[in-house]
């Protein structure tokens, strides 16, 4: 449950910080699939190049369906960060629902919970780093107090789509 009196402190989480996992719709069975970083390849890259963020963003990705065992693999040399699809396979997100005449989406549980805390808070504050955070760049409709209740209901619907442990 959201604490209606909660205060939210935005410490500057950037959209890049969600590189680790995307929950997507499996292209084969329409079930829940995960897009995950290839840890072995990331380790190899990190030994050669020390640009940590670059390595994290460009390490190859594995697609793993939790329902039909569909697997895929992709190494991208270019990615488009942000938007309502995963950045590697460009698949639709599992956590995506109509809301306030728009679409509310989240990359993963961490993103959804951050959004929930932000939307649910009556008072939003930010550190200097918070000025560049992904929250500061959210569309206006998500920030409006009049949409709060509807957005929180949509977030509840999305949470119900998350199996335990994902
Ligand atoms: Zn599948």
Distance from residue 20's CA to the centre of ligand 1 (Å): 20
In this structure, what token pair is assigned to residue 142?
């998500």
Per-residue model confidence (pLDDT) at position 49: 76
Is the pLDDT assigned to residue 3 strictly greater than 80? no
CB 114 within 8 A of CB 107: no
d(C-alpha 100, C-alpha 121), whole Å: 19
Distance from residue 71's CA to the centre of ligand 1 (Å): 8
Ion ligand 1 nearby residues (CB, 5 A): 26, 28-29, 31, 65, 67-68, 70
d(C-alpha 9, C-alpha 66), whole Å: 34
CA distances to 2, 50, 120, 138 from 123, in Å: 13, 39, 9, 16
Distance from residue 62's CA to the centre of ligand 1 (Å): 13
Per-residue model confidence (pLDDT) at position 4: 58
d(C-alpha 60, C-alpha 37), whole Å: 6
Per-residue model confidence (pLDDT) at position 151: 98
Sign of CA dihedral 48, 52, 58, 64: positive
**Residue carrying the six token digits 């709060």:** 148
d(C-alpha 87, C-alpha 35), whole Å: 9
* Range 24-37 average pLDDT: 98
d(C-alpha 13, C-alpha 41), whole Å: 25
pLDDT digits (tens, 9 = 90+) for 67-97: 998 999 999 999 999 899 999 999 999 999 9
Distance from residue 93's CA to the centre of ligand 1 (Å): 14
Pairing type for strands 21-25 and 71-74 reads: unpaired
Per-residue model confidence (pLDDT) at position 5: 64
Distance from residue 164's CA to the centre of ligand 1 (Å): 18
pLDDT digits (tens, 9 = 90+) for 118-165: 999 988 898 888 888 999 899 999 999 999 999 999 999 999 999 998
* Range 104-123 average pLDDT: 95
d(C-alpha 160, C-alpha 158), whole Å: 5
Per-residue model confidence (pLDDT) at position 112: 97
Distance from residue 63's CA to the centre of ligand 1 (Å): 10
Domain boundaries, the chain: 7-160
Distance from residue 38's CA to the centre of ligand 1 (Å): 19
């Amino acid at each position: 449950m959201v604490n209606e009196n909660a205060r939210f402190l935005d410490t500057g989480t950037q959209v890049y910080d969600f590189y680790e996992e995307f929950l997507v719709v499996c292209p084969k069975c329409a079930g829940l699939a995960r897009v995950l970083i290839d840890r072995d390849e990331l380790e190899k890259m990190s030994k050669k190049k020390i640009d940590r963020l670059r390595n994290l963003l460009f390490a190859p990705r594995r697609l793993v369906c939790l329902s039909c065992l569909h697997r895929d693999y992709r190494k991208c040399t270019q990615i488009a960060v942000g938007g309502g699809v995963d950045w590697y396979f460009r698949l639709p997100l599992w956590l995506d629902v109509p809301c306030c005449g728009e679409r509310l989406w989240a990359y993963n549980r961490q993103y959804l919970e951050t959004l929930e805390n932000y939307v649910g808070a009556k008072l939003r504050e930010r550190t200097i780093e918070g000025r560049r955070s992904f929250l500061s760049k959210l569309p206006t409709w998500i920030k409006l107090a009049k949409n709060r209740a509807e957005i929180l209901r949509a977030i509840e619907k999305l949470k119900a789509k998350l199996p335990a442990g994902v």
